[in-house]
Amino acid sequence: MARRTSEFPRDAGAVVTGGGSGLGRALSLELARRGVRVLVTDVDRDAAETTAGGVRDAGGVAFVETCDVRSESEVFKLADAARDHFGRDADIVCNNAGVAVAGPFADISSDDWKWIIDVNLWGVIHGCRAFAPAMQERRRGYILNVASAAGLLCAPQMAPYNVTKSAVVGLSETLFSEFKPRGVRVSVLCPTFFQTQIMASSRGPVDGEMRGLAEKAMTRSKVQAPEVASQAIDGLRAGRLYVVPMSDGRVAWRLKRANPQRFHALLAGGLERVGQLLGRLG
Catalytic residues: 161
> Can you tell me whether residue 221 is helix, strand or coil?
coil
3-class DSSP state of 189: strand
Report which secondary-structure segment, H or E, holds 245: none
Beta strands in the chain (DSSP E): 13-16, 37-42, 62-66, 92-95, 141-146, 184-189, 242-243
| CA separation for the pair 31, 142 (Å, rounded) | 12
Burial of 259 (0-12, 13-18, 19+ CB in 10 A): exposed
